[in-house]
Copies of this chain bind each other. A is one copy, B any other.
Amino acid sequence: MATPKRDTYTPETLLSVAVRVFNERGYDGTSMEHLSKAAGISKSSIYHHVAGKEELLRRAVSRALDGLFAILDEAGAQQGRAVERVEYVTRRTVEVLTAELPYVTLLLRVRGNTTTERWALERRREFDQRVAELLKAAVADGDLRADVDIRLATRLLFGMVNSLVEWYRPHTGPGGEADRAQLADTVVHLAFDGLRTAS
């Protein structure tokens, strides 16, 4: 007798399947039936793990949000001049984004139709706001140009960073780590050598 597939499932593996399906079909376009087929387990097995697809969405976007917010508590984001802190946060955001690509992709595609989606949008705005405050402090220090609107600069900065989910494909195997570090370097160079006051 074959061991039922579902025995190998954990909330973690179910989550990674759900995120893949959400990203492929869109959250609205995904039914429990789709998730059941993709995971190769019955709907009742899924309900054994979670209350429904919205719980899977909440867990998935939480993983992305926790990764992003954790950056703000790191030493590099807490100590030093504001300009160094904002560069650090930008670099680490690129790293978290590439490390947690499917989760952040899902987070960035959230639209706001459900309570969970509205909560996720609110948390994203909160993160952007924290970065905007750092940018503002760096302008006050005279390290970033005062002639750029902070709100606009924050949007363009995240526009550039977040675009990664559309075209970045993880480089697995040797060199992958160096690849991600080079990407983070390039983003920081592009963004800040532009924002920094001429020396």
Residues of chain A touching chain B, judged by Cβ–Cβ distance below 8 Å, are 26, 29, 145, 148-149, 152-153, 155-164, 166-167, 182-183, 186-187, 189-195, 198-199
Total identical chains: 2
Give the distance in Å from the alpha carbon of A158 to the alpha carbon of B163 in the complex. 8
Give the distance in Å from the alpha carbon of A155 to the alpha carbon of B159 in the complex. 11
In the complex, what residue of chain B is closest to A151 when comparing beta carbons?
B167
Q: How far is the CB of A24 from chain B (nearest CB, A)?
A: 11
Contact A195 B190 (CB under 8 A): yes
Q: How far is the CB of A117 from chain B (nearest CB, A)?
A: 15
Q: How far is the CB of A94 from chain B (nearest CB, A)?
A: 10
Contact A189 B159 (CB under 8 A): no
Contact B187 A156 (CB under 8 A): yes
Q: A145-B189, A156-B186 are in contact. List 20 more A-B contacts (CB 8 A).
A: A26-B26, A148-B189, A148-B190, A149-B186, A153-B186, A153-B190, A155-B163, A155-B167, A156-B163, A156-B187, A157-B190, A159-B160, A159-B163, A159-B164, A159-B167, A160-B160, A162-B163, A190-B195, A193-B193, A194-B195
